[in-house]
Structure 1
């Protein structure tokens, strides 16, 4: 399989995972992740393993997030998604955030995330 075909497949996997998150289907999202996923929100911390992500999602995504992917770029084993997401702001009020997620894939599944999120 060519690098371009692999990158296209990875983009489709991320799109499916994002749809699961929007629908509140955390297990559907996690089905696209490796068991040893490493999820880092830069400046906040790192979750290691699918169970840790599952536990975080129970609270962090108790209400499915509203987000828009404005750009998605894929090359080789990486997909970068750039967009906007609504969440709890610094004063506990709903706020809009700009984000860039850098995903790495292994064997067709998401295995690593570096998420950069700032209040817009």
Structure 2
């Protein structure tokens, strides 16, 4: 039985919060596109790996406020808290949008 998309996203997010970037990337296709609306677009696993190595100095903290699954789409709304290189905490809201 194929795992539901909501469960896949929950496992992928759990891997990130545990600092296991390799496991997170195992949930991604090689040609993944991760869009931070109004900021940047990461294309491919290598770009995401580099981003995570630079930004996720410590594993981020997630607060998922809503997780909505319908068909092939999952929407997670919430907050992520990251530790910046100068020791300050930052908060990021991102929308990851798949477009064809």
What interval of TM-score do these two structures reach, taking the shorter chain for normalisation? 0.7 to 0.9
Distance in 2, Cα, partners of 1:101 & 1:41:
6
Aligned to 1:30: 25
Question: Which 4+ stretches in 1 moved above 2 angstroms?
Answer: 99-104
Q: Secondary structure at the match of 2:54?
A: helix
CA contact (8 A) 1:78 1:102 kept: no
Structure number with higher strand proportion? 1
Q: What do you get for the CA RMSD once the two structures are aligned?
A: 2.6
Structure 1 residues 13 and 49, CA, compared in 2 at 3 Å: closer, same or farther? same
CA contact (8 A) 1:79 1:103 kept: no
The C-alpha deviation readout for 1:30-63, integer Å capped at 9, x for no partner, is 0000000001111111111011101111011121
Q: CA deviation at 1:100?
A: 5.2
* Bigger relative contact order (CA 8 A; separation at least 6): 1
Structure 1 residues 103 and 19, CA, compared in 2 at 3 Å: closer, same or farther? farther
Structure 1 residues 102 and 75, CA, compared in 2 at 3 Å: closer, same or farther? farther
Q: Which runs of 5+ in 2 are unaligned?
A: none
CA contact (8 A) 1:70 1:82 kept: yes
- Count of aligned positions: 98
> TM-score with structure 1 length normalisation?
0.70
Distance in 1, Cα, partners of 2:96 & 2:91:
19
